[in-house]
Amino acid sequence: MDKNQMLVYLNHHTRRVKMRFVRMMLRLLRRTYKFSTMKITRNIFRMKMKNIPATDDESGDEEQQAERLVRRDLLDGVFSLRQLFCSGSDFKKNIIKYILKTRHNVVYARWEKEKLEAKCKGKGCHWEIYCSVENHIGKWMVKHYYNEHLCHPTGRCELIKNPIIDDLFLEDIRRDPEMSGSEIKYEMKRRYNIIISPNQAKVARRRILDRLQAECDEQFSRLRDYELQLCTMNDGTTVEINTTTRDDGSEAFSHMYICFEALRSAWKQNCRPIIGLDGTFLKHSMKGIMLIVVGRDPNNQIFPIVWVVVDCENNPNWEWFVRKLKEDMGLGLGENITLISDMHRGLIHSVATEL
């Protein structure tokens, strides 16, 4: 084989090697691409099967976000076209949320059984929204929405009336019944930058206090039901509720004594014969005193035994409490029991009298 033939042979062999290498690389790429495609498709399918919704940050679609919030019963004052509400009251609540967020003077232009329309009352402003019942799905739908204000918010909103202020400050006054009308007015301005009149704040405070009093009256009216339920579900439990009679013939709460059979028997069987007696103030609009008896369990932890609610810490109430305790716990004359107390005069007198 001469030199020229050798060169031709080498060139041909080199081309064959290159072609084989290229085919191998192409085959490898096809396999890799096919695997990656299948993996991506499988992950997408798994996400669909799990039905994982997009988060609010990932989705820029206000309509989908609003529908998700309504399904979760979270109204945040966001509106969009074709947005659904479970009822007309949900739509009105969302209007109030919108007003509290934007401070625009939005009022209702139409108020019907199955149709609601709201407009901005600002001068030259065209913001408006229309919502009505969509019969084939049984929900309220936003069918017209023009979301552009041409006015500046003033902080004076006609729809922010006393019922709305009541709901906004109910828990505040529940925690602090001494909250004044001027403080409500100041907090309304600080939190929402909305202005209300001093008279509105005073009326709202009075309405909230009446509402809280009505809640207390309702709970007190069901004390007998509570007593019956405790005795029915806990055999051997001692519950006593005493009342006084008012001038108009109605009953008023006076005392309540509770001793669960499970706690009583557990203390007798497992705890040392040492009990502590003390009282504490009930920090609530109804006030009162809670008197309690505690022991020590085998782990040296506090073990509640008996508690009562009375109007004040005086001799008659302590005597009644110690007498009930003596009967329930079988203390006799107190020979085999050690008492720990804060040496309150009423307690010392009742122990000396009863034990």
Task: Please write the tens of the pLDDT for every residue from 186-211.
Answer: 999 999 999 999 999 999 999 999 99
Predicted pLDDT at 74: 61
Average pLDDT over residues 169-187: 91
- Distance CA(244)–CA(256), nearest Å, equals 12
Span of 6-15, 56-65, 152-161 with lowest mean pLDDT: 56-65
> Does position 11 have pLDDT exceeding 50, yes or no?
yes
At 268, which helix (H) or strand (E)?
Answer: helix 261-270
Q: What's the full length of the chain, in residues?
A: 355
Average pLDDT over residues 74-96: 88
* Burial (CB count within 10 angstroms: exposed 0-12, middle 13-18, buried 19+), residue 349: middle
Predicted pLDDT at 21: 61
The tokens for 13 are 């062999």
Instruction: Pick the closest to residue 209 from 170, 237, 153 (CA basis).
Output: 170
- Distance CA(172)–CA(209), nearest Å, equals 11
- Distance CA(304)–CA(296), nearest Å, equals 9
- Distance CA(199)–CA(14), nearest Å, equals 99
Residue owning tokens 């609010």: 56
Question: Each residue of 229-265: pLDDT tens digit?
Answer: 888 888 888 888 888 888 887 778 888 899 999 888 8
Question: Each residue of 268-298: pLDDT tens digit?
Answer: 888 888 888 888 888 766 778 888 888 888 8
User: Over pLDDT 70: what percentage of the chain?
Assistant: 78
* Burial (CB count within 10 angstroms: exposed 0-12, middle 13-18, buried 19+), residue 276: middle
- Distance CA(192)–CA(167), nearest Å, equals 14
> Does position 48 have pLDDT exceeding 50, yes or no?
no
Q: Is the pTM of this model over 0.85?
A: no
- What is the CB neighbour count within 10 angstroms for residue 188? 22
Predicted pLDDT at 127: 94
- Distance CA(175)–CA(98), nearest Å, equals 27
